[in-house]
Amino acid sequence: MDKKTYRPLTIPKLGWDSKTLTASFGQLTAQPLEPGFGITLGNALRRILLGGIEGSAVTAVIIKGVNNEFSVLPGVVEDAMQVILNIKEIVVCNKTGQPGKMRLLVQGEAAATVGDIVADEHLELLNKEHVIAQVAAGGSLDIEFYVETGRGYQPAQWPIGQALQSDNRIYLDAMFSPVLKVAYDVQKTRVGGTIDYDKLVLSVFTDGTETPVDVVNYAVSVLRTQLEHFLTSTEIPFNEISAVDIESVEDVLQDEGEELVQGLRVDLLVKPIDALEFSVRAHNCLINAGVTRVIDLVNLTEDELQKIKNFGRKSFEEVKEGLKQYGLTLGMNLNEADLLKLKDKAKE
């Protein structure tokens, strides 16, 4: 029996808007997509981003002098309930994903803020100006915080049948997700003479503990992992079927006035690496190693990049993320002459 032949799918090219990309906001564009795929993928990614990304939050506290959340705190303007509500707004960046502890001790008249909290080494607090409570003259506030990692929303984990805890611990409900808001917009785009392909624009807002690039990568990993288990037989290799040989590329997409050949920005590739706006350290290390243009950089392998003198792990990750914003990677092995020929051919 002859093997069945499948039609290829359109493989989208992705790019982050570098002009607006920050640690807490990013706009990702994916195009072209098969007709109808914009809403399908946009909605799936949005649902996972809002409820399926790991984050850390305070899940329990011990406030010295009280044993429940309805108590009055001597020497503190707010009651225990208001203090707990303020604690829920603490933004915790967990570098390892492991549980941790934090401690707040304020004595005398002062505004107790997140910046006064002493945290474990792997925990970083971002909203340091956020006020936890106002301590009156002669008063004090002593709180121990317990931080855990999770996904989405978690109700307070009170032990069954125990209203009061022996160590006076108060359990809190927690919202772990670092993603605050996700919006997507689907537009039509052209491929050759066909005008009904989709263009997906995904806008992601985070609390700063995770970057938009990282949470989207996490969401895609979750979605891919879940969908793999729906395969009931051998997977159809659409990535191989749909792969396009760069020598045969004929369609050129227009994006912000730059030529895109098979999704690659030719004008960007031949620009100096200054266009990628790396940190001074990473930029100088590359220049000293003779890597002066973007195409020189993407043609390096990961091993070659790591072997550059004084090029540390932080700079390595910075370069990878910087390239990812433009749909580029290391080890692309591009031939400049071939790219320019394709660009000239597309203009004819």
Rounded to 5°, the CA angle 212-214-219 comes to 95
Kindly list the domain boundaries of the chain, sorted by start residue: 1-52+180-243, 54-175, 247-348
Reading the block at residue 108, the tokens are 């005398």
The alpha carbon of residue 120 and the mean position of all alpha carbons in its chain are separated, in whole angstroms, by 23
| pLDDT (tens digit per residue) in 322-333 | 887 777 788 877
Note whether 182 and 201 are within 8 A (CB): no
**Strand pairing partners for 150?**
55
Q: Using DSSP, state whether 52 is helix, strand or coil.
A: coil
Judge whether residue 154 has pLDDT over 50: yes
Q: Using DSSP, state whether 56 is helix, strand or coil.
A: strand
Pairing of the two strands 25-33 and 13-16: antiparallel
Averaged over 49-54, what is the pLDDT?
93
Name residue 218's amino acid: Y
Q: What is the spatial distance between Cα 204 and Cα 184, in angstroms, rounded to a whole number?
A: 9
Q: What is the spatial distance between Cα 197 and Cα 35, in angstroms, rounded to a whole number?
A: 5
Distances (CA, A) of 45 to 20, 55, 200, 216: 20, 17, 11, 8
Q: Which helix (H) or strand (E) holds 81?
A: helix 80-87
What's the mean pLDDT when you consider all of the chain? 85
Note whether 55 and 177 are within 8 A (CB): yes
Q: Using DSSP, state whether 130 is helix, strand or coil.
A: coil
pLDDT, residue 251, reads: 43
Note whether 216 and 100 are within 8 A (CB): no
Q: For residue 252, with 0-12 CB atoms within 10 Å meaning exposed, 13-18 middle and 19 or more buried, which class applies?
A: middle
Note whether 141 and 112 are within 8 A (CB): yes
Maximum Cα–Cα distance for the chain, whole Å?
Answer: 88
Q: What is the spatial distance between Cα 121 and Cα 198, in angstroms, rounded to a whole number?
A: 46
Does domain 1-52+180-243 fall under CATH 3.30.1360.10? My reply is yes
| pLDDT (tens digit per residue) in 260-298 | 444 456 677 888 888 888 888 888 888 888 888 888 898
Judge whether residue 344 has pLDDT over 90: no
**Strand pairing partners for 133?**
112
pLDDT, residue 6, reads: 81
Pairing of the two strands 179-191 and 194-206: antiparallel
Q: What is the spatial distance between Cα 315 and Cα 208, in angstroms, rounded to a whole number?
A: 20
Judge whether residue 348 has pLDDT over 60: no
Q: What is the spatial distance between Cα 141 and Cα 26, in angstroms, rounded to a whole number?
A: 39
Q: What is the spatial distance between Cα 252 and Cα 259, in angstroms, rounded to a whole number?
A: 7
From the options 1.10.150.20, 2.40.50.460, 3.30.300.100, 3.40.1190.10, give the CATH code of 247-348. Answer: 1.10.150.20
Note whether 51 and 151 are within 8 A (CB): yes
Q: What is the spatial distance between Cα 177 and Cα 207, in angstroms, rounded to a whole number?
A: 9
Does domain 54-175 fall under CATH 1.10.10.10? My reply is no
Residue with tokens 């071939």: 338
Which of 78, 71, 75 lies closest to 108, judged by CA?
75
Judge whether residue 258 has pLDDT over 70: no
| pLDDT (tens digit per residue) in 13-44 | 888 888 888 889 999 999 889 999 999 999 99
Q: 276 or 250: which carries more pLDDT confidence?
A: 276
